[in-house]
Chain A
Amino acid sequence: MKKKVLIIDDDIDLVEAMRMTLEEAGLEVLDAQSGKKGEERALKEHPDLILLDIMMGEQDEGFHVAYRLRSHKETRDIPIIMLSAVGQETGFSFDPEKDKAFLPVQEFIDKPVNPDHLVEKVKAHLGY
């Protein structure tokens, strides 16, 4: 059975571009254009991995979404890859490697995402 990846991002063009890449890599792609919809979809469809944009609507909505996903029993263990240059966009200066303990996500990928890099990271977290 194909593994399911949920993309939560409010930029529809970006979602379509990533969908193309991931589908060609043999994955099933779901999407949601807001944090709230993304959370609902994650609860309903139970994806194997979530790609989450940090900057939607409000400045750091992605973070809140990630914390909420971590609070539900059903979605607690789904790996999350966060899309964004965190330090650059939020002005926080932290190191995703070092500060992992308090970050609710597995990985950060800077935008723009290189297609090969994206596939490689997604597959690594899906255990390919």
Chain B
Amino acid sequence: MKSKLSFSESLGAQFTLLNATMLNSRILWSIRWRWVANAGFFLLILLARSADILLDYESIWLTLIVLAVSNLIYQAIYIFKKNYSLMGELSFISVHMLVDVLILTWLIHLTGGVENPLYFFYIFHVIISSIIFPKNLPYLFTTFVFLLFNVLVWAEFYHFIAHNCLYEAQFHQNPYLNILSVAVFTTTVFLTTHICTSFMKLFRKSQREVKQLNRLLMEKESEKSSFYRYTSHELKAPVVSIKTSIDVVLASAGNGLPDRARHLLKRASARAEQMLGMLKELLELSWEQSKGKNEAAGYVDVKELLKQVVEMERPVAENKHMRFETDSDDELPLILADKNSLQKLFGNVVGNAVRYNREGGTIHIRTEKKEKGLAVIIQDEGIGIAGDDLKKIFDPFYRSAEAKEYAESGSGLGLSLVRQIVDNLGGWIEVDSAPGRGSTFSIFLPAEAAS
């Protein structure tokens, strides 16, 4: 996928996977490892001294002190710096790395030059620079490392600087060994740089594509839900008109009609109302879908809300001689949510409990305090749900055969809406049921929407 990027985007694209916060944490990480390296080197030198290897120990101690002090300075800067920017962090880390390779070169020189395989350690810096720096800048850094190592090896070879003997072998005086070491070293660092940077380029490219695709997906998703909204509104208008006309005819001329005709008109009005109910739920579902996660309006007292929901359902329940039994833990946490959504959520579940309960049955509603939120358990003594249907009841438009038989109306969208709302809040819903034994819906809601 090709498209033109703006300047800031193209700058960002080069630094994909890179931001000030991430770099900042890398800096802390590098400070820790520098302490480890410092301590490790210190122990090694102690070992070398006890083995009576002749080295310029004073210079080594001094270098290690310089390294420790510079690390202390980095740490102080890290702790006291309040604001950081991408460029600031990047230059900070560049300084670290340049100083690090300079000190490393100096330490290699002090501990035997080419005789000391310590020069392998350059590879760490080469890899880190290949990951962090954009474009072909890592090659610049690698070239700098290459030059440092060459200067060290050949300066010792030509006696421009003194050689500190690690073994008595005087390897540094052997031109073949020097050429071989430098050649292998050079190949290794440049090849490593090449492998890492090409991988990083590929990686950044795919990150960029994923980001773009993601954005496209979000756009499509919002187009889709606004399409649903528009469609259900457009579908609603004629049904509203049909139902209103039928109701007006029934109200003004209904008494003059034959019984069968009046009955048919009443049925037509009821069916139009059923369709409006479905459209309404479809609309609500698409609102919840487009709303997505974490859109909260305020803190809601669930216990109070459940009380309201129960009051709303009470007339229907009392018509069928049902009782509500409510029970709640003390000091429930408030839930960060849109109150209307929560009302729809519990209205649907409690409404179902009333609709599918047996006549004269009880509906238990229990609210429990949980570690990071609360759970609401809504239990009825109704027709229950068979195992095969349990998996499907949250699917849009799904209604079990028993449910259809028991209660004619119902869109099959209520529980889809319930699940969408629970998902949006970062909670979960579970159902436990068996045919003829009632159903228990358990809903967990986190106190703070999961971020």
Which residues from chain A sit less than 8 Å from chain B, CB to CB? Answer: 11, 13-14, 16-18, 20-21, 24, 55, 85, 87-89, 91, 93, 111-116
Contacts and interface: CB of A to CB of B under 8 A. Distances in A.
B297 A14 contact: no
Given A21-B251, A85-B280, A93-B338, A112 B287 contact: no
Contacts of B272: 112
Contacts of A113: 244
A33 to B, nearest CB: 14
Contacts of B284: 88
Contact of A20 (B229, B240, B241, B252): B252
30 contacts: A11-B240, A11-B241, A13-B241, A13-B244, A14-B244, A14-B245, A16-B245, A17-B241, A17-B244, A17-B247, A18-B244, A18-B248, A20-B248, A24-B252, A85-B280, A87-B340, A88-B280, A88-B284, A89-B283, A91-B287, A93-B340, A111-B236, A112-B239, A112-B240, A112-B243, A112-B244, A112-B273, A112-B276, A113-B244, A116-B251
Contacts of A11: 237, 240-241
Contacts of B240: 11, 14, 111-112
B233 interface: yes
Given A14-B241, A18-B244, A115 B297 contact: no
A59 to B, nearest CB: 9
B130 to A, nearest CB: 49
B339 interface: yes
Nearest to A83: B240
B248 A115 contact: yes
Given A17-B248, A20-B252, A93 B241 contact: no
What 8 A-B pairs come out closest when comparing CB atoms?
A: A115-B251, A93-B340, A112-B243, A13-B241, A17-B248, A17-B244, A112-B240, A17-B245
Contacts of B252: 20-21, 24, 115
Contacts of B247: 17, 112, 114-115
A55 B236 CA distance: 11
Looking at chain A's contact residues, is the secondary structure mostly helix, strand, loop, or mixed? helix
A47 B340 CA distance: 36
Interface of B: 229, 233, 236-237, 239-241, 243-245, 247-248, 251-252, 272-273, 276, 280, 283-284, 287, 297, 338-341
B233 A55 contact: yes
Nearest to A11: B241
Contacts of A21: 248, 251-252
A27 to B, nearest CB: 14
A93 to B, nearest CB: 4
Nearest to B251: A115
Nearest to A87: B340
A14 B236 CA distance: 13
A112 B297 CA distance: 29
B225 to A, nearest CB: 10
A11 B233 CA distance: 13
Contacts of A114: 247
A52 to B, nearest CB: 15
A93 B284 CA distance: 12
A112 B250 CA distance: 14
A16 B241 CA distance: 10
A93 B297 contact: yes
Most buried by A among B247, B248, B272: B248
Contacts of A13: 241, 244-245
B129 to A, nearest CB: 51
Contacts of A24: 252
Given A20-B248, A21-B252, A89 B241 contact: no
A88 B283 contact: yes
A93 B339 contact: yes
B120 to A, nearest CB: 63
B140 to A, nearest CB: 54
A124 B387 CA distance: 53
Contacts of B297: 93
B185 to A, nearest CB: 65
A114 B229 CA distance: 24
Most buried by B among A11, A87, A112: A112
A23 B209 CA distance: 64
Contacts of A88: 280, 283-284
Contacts of A91: 229, 287
Contacts of A111: 236, 240, 244
A115 B252 CA distance: 9
Contact of A89 (B233, B239, B244): B233
A115 B269 CA distance: 13
B112 to A, nearest CB: 74
A17 B249 CA distance: 8
A16 B244 CA distance: 10
A91 B251 CA distance: 32
A21 B246 CA distance: 12
B420 to A, nearest CB: 15
